[in-house]
RNA sequence: GCGCCCGUAGCUCAGUAGGAUAGAGCGUCGGAUUCCUAAUCCGAAGGCCACAGGUUCGAAUCCUGUCGGGCGCACCA
């Protein structure tokens, strides 16, 4: 399916010939040999560095090997030309047929184009967007959400069995505050004069109906009741309400998690003890005193003995506390239990998508996973840099107190999920992303997502016109088209680009960089638009040629292939292809 | 002070696991629409890839150091 796999096979075969001829020694390591598209199209369809890699071990000059390799490749099927180039590349040009037969490949594969089994069905757990249930999602959360979702799709496409997972942080002190906020609203709902919301409580509109419902259901029975009697129940009602909101926000982005795990259930279910026992048996837990932290001085710091995890045994900088001075497990202890739980559910590959402000957390968690799984499982952490929210070129500071929270829902309602998702993927995850509310709204026509969707829509338009002229446009007609009629360099370049999709998918998945899909689609759309406009200047390049049904069929097949790749790529990043713009 | 991330065109950013003459969008300037959607296309200008060393056939990419920016640095999540 991937043309460059075919080309790699050609090069490997040619190298085998050279070995048989004694030009190259046997048993060379070919791992570093690459066959990739050259940056400069004038160098042909592909270039290999084989001669440069193998020269030293062979004790020969790179150019000599390259020359021999070029001769061997000249004899390979579908090779039009193979030439050695300084300092030792071999440039390959393929016959037209090599590229033309990608068109039926693409048409046959449809939305599955680019799929591979490189993952071998391995189970991967992708945890992303585990925002605290203490408020609606904001724009910063959404970056990790879009990234995690697109990465999951990408990994599925290359043959991993992916589980999208959300960790609900419903076990900490913040939930108690949430519960007290409910209690305050509850007394308010009963008509009591409760005064303004105390400092530190959550001024969330979502909590009011929750409190009102309790008031209707239970009357005043909790008003004077001691906190222990209602704290947990109120907290859980609040969490459920917030999670409904969060799930709704995510659904508006087209994101659906497979599994929601509760921190509270881990804590109460004895799983923390189980995980720590596992560490204890390896001698990785001890009672100790940590040195004073280096950074800002902490006023009430005093050296106290704590239960510690020996994270330094696995590369962390210091050992990490498991228990707080009040006796409760730390967040880290619960998270250890959570990741142990993932391991026990069969995940040896875990990916956590976190905000960059959690960067300091990575080493200890990776240490924990290695220890808990006894080196069987591996945790990768993808950090998403924070979103710099701008408002017409001015930085926008978000402040819960001032009520200036830009919620995800507000933005998505305004610009739509497709624009939002695409923008989130037009930056590498570890680079800061500038998100200007004004620009995104006002200049949405300049947004790259429209550029790509427009290409898709234009192709749909061609098919509508073709059908209107009575031209057969169904799959059988397209598959039967004589593609040899396609000969213009612009057409072949377009097919080459479309056929590059499987390679991009593979690389994006390996590098875990879904943004590469977005950039690829932009390029493909650009080549298509260029060809379209050329048809305005050169009549003979128009897609529908009234007097030549064979040529028209070939061009329609080509367009169908391009549209298929556009749709497949957009699907991977969760953006809708459209039939027409409006 | 320590750790992680970033530094590429005026601006926002790519740069295909080290490849050949570093790219795109926006902005600026100049062109293209009887004709499949101009939400498009073509061209021009614009660069000491932060800086200095190193590794090698080859470095924006890897290593070391410096400068600049972001994030983090017991018992929060």
Query: A185-207 as b/e, with b when 16 or more CB fall inside 10 Å?
Result: bbbbbbeeeeeeeeeebbebeeb
Q: Which residue is nearest to nucleotide B71 (CA to C1')?
A: A357
Q: Which residue is nearest to nucleotide B26 (CA to C1')?
A: A446
Q: Are strands A285-289 and A394-395 parallel, antiparallel or unpaired?
A: unpaired
Answer yes or no: CATH 3.40.1280.10 is held by domain A3-94: no
Rg (alpha carbons) of chain A, rounded to whole number: 30
State how far the Cα of A125 lies from the Cα of A156, in Å rounded to an integer.
11
State how far the Cα of A495 lies from the Cα of A557, in Å rounded to an integer.
11
Burial degree of A471 (CB within 10 A; 0-12, 13-18, 19+): middle
The number of helices, as runs of H, and strands, as runs of E, in chain A is 22, 15
**CA-closest candidate to residue A81, choices A90, A68, A94:** A94
pLDDT score recorded for residue A401: 46
State how far the Cα of A459 lies from the Cα of A528, in Å rounded to an integer.
9
**CA-closest candidate to residue A409, choices A251, A257, A258:** A251
Any strand B atom closer than 7 Å to A46 CB: no
**CA-closest candidate to residue A125, choices A176, A82, A151, A162:** A162
pLDDT in tens, chain A (582 residues): 789 999 999 999 999 998 888 888 887 778 788 899 988 888 889 999 999 988 887 888 889 999 999 999 999 989 999 999 988 999 999 999 999 999 999 999 999 999 999 999 999 999 999 999 998 998 889 999 999 999 999 999 999 999 999 999 998 888 999 999 999 999 999 999 999 999 889 988 889 999 999 999 999 999 999 999 999 999 999 999 999 999 999 999 999 999 999 999 999 989 999 999 999 999 999 999 998 887 767 777 888 899 999 999 998 989 999 999 888 999 999 999 999 999 999 999 999 999 999 999 999 999 999 999 999 999 999 999 888 888 777 777 655 544 556 789 988 988 889 999 999 999 999 888 888 887 777 667 778 899 999 999 999 999 999 999 999 999 999 999 999 999 999 999 999 999 999 999 999 999 999 999 999 999 999 999 999 999 988 889 999 998 899 999 999 999 999 999 999 999 999 999 999 987
**A177/B76 CA-to-C1' distance in Å:** 13
A321 forms beta bridges with A308
Tokens 């991937």 correspond to what residue? Answer: A2
Element (H, E) at A289: strand A285-289
**CA-closest candidate to residue A345, choices A546, A127, A63:** A127
Nearest nucleic acid nucleotide to A515, CA to C1' distance: B14
| DSSP, residue by residue, A93-161 | EE-HHHHHTHHHHHHHHGGGTT---TTTT-EEEEE-----SSS--BHHHHHHHHHHHHHHHHHHHTT-E
Q: Are strands A123-127 and A161-168 parallel, antiparallel or unpaired?
A: parallel
Q: Per-domain residue ranges for chain A?
A: 3-94, 447-573
**A169/B77 CA-to-C1' distance in Å:** 7
State how far the Cα of A250 lies from the Cα of A152, in Å rounded to an integer.
15
Q: Which residue is nearest to nucleotide B12 (CA to C1')?
A: A434
Nearest nucleic acid nucleotide to A539, CA to C1' distance: B35
Tokens 């305005």 correspond to what residue? Answer: A536
**Who's near A418: CB < 8 A, 6+ residues apart?**
A449, A453, A575, A576
CATH topology match: A3-94 vs A447-573: no
Packing angle, helices A173-189 and A227-252, rounded to 10: 100
Determine phi and psi for A414, rounding to 5 degrees. -80, -50
Any strand B atom closer than 7 Å to A357 CB: yes
State how far the Cα of A542 lies from the Cα of A535, in Å rounded to an integer.
5
Q: Which residue is nearest to nucleotide B35 (CA to C1')?
A: A536
Q: What is the ipTM score, two decimals?
A: 0.96
Any strand B atom closer than 7 Å to A40 CB: yes
State how far the Cα of A453 lies from the Cα of A33, in Å rounded to an integer.
37
On whether the CB atoms of residues A263 and A334 are closer than 8 A, the answer is yes
**A72/B28 CA-to-C1' distance in Å:** 51
Question: Strand B: which bases are under 7 Å from protein Cβ?
Answer: 1-7, 12-17, 19-27, 32-33, 35-42, 57-58, 70-77
Architecture of the CATH domain A447-573: Orthogonal Bundle (1.10)
Structure tokens at A358: 């959690």
**Which residues in window 443-482 of A are less than 7 A from strand B by Cβ?**
445-446, 448, 450-451, 454, 457-458, 461-462, 464-465
Determine the Cα angle at A25 with ends A21 and A28, to 5°: 125
**Which residues in window 280-339 of A are less than 7 A from strand B by Cβ?**
290, 293-296, 298, 300-302, 304, 306, 317, 320-321, 323-326, 328, 330-332
On whether the CB atoms of residues A136 and A246 are closer than 8 A, the answer is yes
**Which residues in window 111-170 of A are less than 7 A from strand B by Cβ?**
132, 169
Any strand B atom closer than 7 Å to A89 CB: yes
On whether the CB atoms of residues A367 and A121 are closer than 8 A, the answer is no
């Amino acid at each position: 399916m991937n043309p460059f796999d075919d080309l790699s096979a050609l090069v490997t075969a040619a190298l085998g010939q050279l070995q048989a001829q004694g030009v190259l020694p046997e048993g060379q390591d070919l791992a570093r040999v690459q066959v990739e598209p050259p940056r400069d199209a004038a160098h042909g369809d592909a270039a290999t560095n084989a001669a440069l890699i193998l020269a030293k071990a062979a004790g020969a000059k790179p150019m000599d090997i390259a020359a021999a390799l070029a001769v061997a490749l000249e004899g390979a099927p579908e090779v039009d030309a193979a030439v050695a180039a300084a300092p030792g590349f071999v440039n390959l040009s393929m016959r037209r047929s090599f590229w033309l037969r990608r068109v039926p490949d693409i048409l046959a594969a449809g939305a599955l184009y680019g799929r591979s089994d490189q993952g071998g069905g391995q189970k991967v757990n992708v945890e992303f967007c585990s925002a605290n249930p203490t408020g609606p999602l904001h724009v910063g959360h959404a970056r990790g959400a879009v990234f995690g979702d697109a990465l999951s799709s990408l990994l599925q496409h290359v043959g991993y069995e992916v589980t999208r997972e959300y960790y609900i942080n419903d076990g900490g002190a913040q939930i108690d505050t949430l519960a007290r906020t409910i209690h305050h609203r509850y007394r308010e709902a009963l008509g009591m004069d409760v005064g303004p919301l105390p400092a530190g409580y959550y001024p969330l509109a979502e909590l009011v109906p929750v409190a009102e419902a309790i008031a209707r259901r239970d009357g005043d029975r909790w008003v004077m009741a001691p906190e222990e009697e209602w704290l947990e129940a109120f907290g859980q009602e609040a969490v459920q309400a917030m999670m409904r909101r969060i799930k709704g926000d995510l659904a508006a982005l087209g994101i659906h998690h497979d599994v929601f795990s509760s921190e509270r259930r881990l804590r109460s279910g004895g799983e923390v003890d189980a995980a720590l026992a596992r560490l204890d048996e390896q001698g990785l837990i001890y009672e100790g005193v940590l040195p004073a932290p280096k950074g800002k001085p902490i006023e009430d710091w005093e050296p106290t003995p704590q239960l510690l995890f020996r994270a330094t045994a696995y590369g962390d900088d210091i050992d990490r506390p498991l228990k707080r001075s009040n006796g409760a497990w730390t967040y880290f202890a619960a998270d250890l239990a959570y990741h142990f739980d993932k391991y026990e559910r069969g995940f040896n590959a875990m990916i956590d998508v976190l905000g960059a402000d959690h960067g300091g957390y990575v080493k200890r968690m990776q240490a924990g996973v290695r220890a808990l799984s006894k080196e069987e499982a591996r945790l990768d952490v993808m950090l998403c840099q924070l979103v710099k929210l701008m408002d017409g070129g001015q930085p926008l500071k978000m402040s819960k107190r001032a009520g200036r929270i830009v919620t995800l829902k507000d933005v998505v309602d305004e610009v739509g999920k497709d624009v939002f998702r695409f923008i989130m993927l037009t930056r590498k995850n570890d680079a800061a992303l500038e998100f200007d509310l004004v620009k995104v709204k006002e200049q949405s026509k300049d947004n790259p997502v429209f550029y790509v969707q427009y290409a898709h829509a234009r192709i749909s338009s061609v098919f509508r016109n073709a059908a209107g002229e009575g031209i057969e446009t169904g799959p059988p007609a397209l598959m039967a088209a004589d593609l040899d009629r396609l000969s213009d360099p612009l057409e072949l370049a377009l097919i080459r680009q479309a056929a590059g999709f499987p390679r991009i998918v593979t690389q994006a998945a390996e590098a875990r960089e879904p943004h590469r899909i977005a950039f690829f689609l932009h390029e493909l759309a650009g080549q298509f638009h260029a060809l379209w406009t050329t048809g305005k200047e050169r009549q003979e390049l128009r897609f529908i040629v009234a007097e030549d049904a064979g040529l028209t069929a070939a061009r329609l097949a080509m367009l169908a292939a391009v549209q298929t790749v556009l749709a497949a790529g957009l699907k991977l990043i969760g953006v809708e292809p459209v039939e027409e713009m409006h």
